[in-house]
Amino acid sequence: MSTVNPSTGTKGGRSAKGFWLTYENGVLLLLGFTFGLVFFDRNAVGVLGSFIIKDLGLTNQQYGLLSSGLALAWALSAYFVAAWSDAMRARKPFVLLSILVFSFCSALSGLATSFVFLLSARIIMGIAEGPFLPVCLSIMNVESTPHRRGLNAGIMQNVFAALIGTSLAPLALTWLAELFNWRVTFFLSGIPGLICALLVWLYLKEPARSAADADLPVHRIGKGALAMLKEHNIRVCCVISIFMVSWFLVVLSFIQPTLVLYRGFSESEAAFAFAIMGLNAAICGFLVPAFSDYVGRKPAMILFCFMGMVGPIAALQFGGPIWALAGLLFIGWAGTGAFPIFMGVVPGETVPRALAASSMGLVVAVGELVGGVGMPWLAGLVADRTSLVAPMTIAAICAFCGGTAALFLKETAPRKVREPAVDIAGAGTTSV
């Protein structure tokens, strides 16, 4: 007998209103678009790297520290605020507060007149943005029908982040910086976030609690980092996160300066290549997790982590025209498709629903603390002492290590394990 999900209003995985009108899809589009704005703000410094470096007179090490500082704040808030969300058994207030704070703080970056000021502004931004992804992924894991968990996680985390934060951002921000100055872009970037905050307040419902939630003592919720690390897949996902977050942030931080200051392309040409990369992330962002629903999490992770090596190598070695180089960067950026799997889907299929946000926040935090904080700074330091060849070389090595770590993952996809998986919605699900 089919049961009705009280949050989604679905019966047997489908709504009487039709596929496109389900609450599941509405939440997916709203949270996905909002995370795109979060990523727009986070990527702004990387997109405008050459403008900021020239205007503020930054060294490569200082420039790398801008990414590292935001990553540190992002990492700490990602775990501790997500754990707080688990402990409070609440999601909506944390999502709403995150949007409001990062929207109001985005203008701080535009007011910066020194390295210290800009670094402080980025740290505040990271505190606000860090918990948004794990809390939203935990919401989507509850609201998603089981056969769409991978697909929805990919759309939530990657599609809008790629379209808005990686494709639109370099074109819009570069155009505004050339038309006015780089500070104007930060002043304007907070306005769409305030609109999304209003929509979240009006539309998003607090996810329904399951019987399993009621049985789990409050003191255990949000405080299980060491216990979660005893799970093999959580440990593997943390290792993958270290290397792939390093790959991701080093490329985002240094691809524009590498193309402009090392390879000699113009800012507009670099923006074009950057935007092409974003299109790939939008496509692979949902296709790769959906692909993993059918072939398994492990093979998808291995393949697409290794593909991440293509972009950094091409940025340094390919001597053809910018359109051909953009094509290679497009292929290499497919590695972003693995992120929803190791940050959201696999942790969510490993621990009970009541610990979902904590487990996802833990994987994000470990990756950001080690890979996000340390690697951009290290890449900038080595670049100052050698050349801009160093960051792309480091990124390629990180992608290789991420693919190697994925070899040790234990399969969790319901279609492949052929046994009941941990149900983040509160009950066991069987393979199809």
Q: Which pLDDT tens digit goes with each residue over 73-109?
A: 887 887 788 778 877 777 888 888 888 888 877 777 8
Cα angle: 249, vertex 255, 256; to 5 degrees: 120
Lowest mean pLDDT of 53-67, 125-139, 141-155, 248-262, name the range.
141-155
pLDDT exceeds cutoff 70 at 216: no
Query: Is residue 396 within 8 Å of residue 313, measured between CB atoms?
Result: yes
Query: Is residue 339 within 8 Å of residue 244, measured between CB atoms?
Result: yes
Mean pLDDT across 217-240: 71
pLDDT exceeds cutoff 60 at 420: no
Q: Which pLDDT tens digit goes with each residue over 68-77?
A: 788 788 878 8
Mean pLDDT across 261-281: 81
Please say whether the dihedral angle defined by the alpha carbons of residues 62, 68, 74 and 80, taken in this order, is positive or negative: negative
Q: What is the distance between the alpha carbons of residues 53 and 39, in angstroms, rounded to a whole number?
A: 21
List C-alpha distances in Å: 143 to 72, 136, 148, 405. Answer: 30, 10, 10, 30
**Given pLDDT bands bounded at 50, 70 and 90, which one contains residue 432?**
very low
pLDDT exceeds cutoff 90 at 347: no
| 172, amino acid identity | A
For residue 207, give the nearest of 86, 32, 77 by alpha carbon. 86
* Percent with pLDDT over 70 in the chain: 85
Q: Is 15 helix (H, G, I), strand (E, B) or coil?
A: strand
Q: What is the distance between the alpha carbons of residues 6 and 189, in angstroms, rounded to a whole number?
A: 36
**Given pLDDT bands bounded at 50, 70 and 90, which one contains residue 225?**
low
Residue 389 or 153, more confident: 389
Mean pLDDT across 156-185: 77
Q: Give, to the nearest 10 degrees, the angle between helix 60-88 and helix 232-257.
A: 140
Residue 324 or 60, more confident: 324
Q: Which pLDDT tens digit goes with each residue over 204-213?
A: 888 766 554 5
Query: Is residue 246 within 8 Å of residue 398, measured between CB atoms?
Result: yes
Domains of the chain from N-terminus onward = 21-417 (1.20.1250.20)
pLDDT value of residue 10: 45
Q: Which pLDDT tens digit goes with each residue over 4-17?
A: 444 444 443 444 34
pLDDT value of residue 353: 66
Q: Residue 263 CA to chain centroid, in angstroms? A: 28
pLDDT value of residue 181: 77
pLDDT value of residue 429: 29
Lowest mean pLDDT of 45-54, 93-102, 297-306, 381-390, name the range.
45-54
Q: What are phi and psi of 14, to 5 degrees?
A: -130, 150
Cα angle: 241, vertex 101, 333; to 5 degrees: 30
Per-chain mean pLDDT for the chain:
78
For residue 100, give the nearest of 36, 28, 38 by alpha carbon. 38
pLDDT value of residue 354: 67
* Percent with pLDDT over 90 in the chain: 12
pLDDT value of residue 5: 46
**Cross-strand pairs, 421:** 429
| 389, amino acid identity | V
List C-alpha distances in Å: 266 to 47, 101, 311, 373. Answer: 13, 35, 19, 29
Residue 228 or 4, more confident: 228
Mean pLDDT across 306-314: 93
Q: What is the spatial order of strands in the sheet that 4-5 belongs to?
A: 4-5, 10-11, 14-15
DSSP state of 6: T
Q: What is the distance between the alpha carbons of residues 224 and 231, in angstroms, rounded to a whole number?
A: 11
**Cross-strand pairs, 10:** 5, 15
Residue 53 or 220, more confident: 53
Mean pLDDT across 345-368: 78
DSSP state of 114: S
Residue 96 or 44, more confident: 96
Residue written as tokens 């696999």? 346
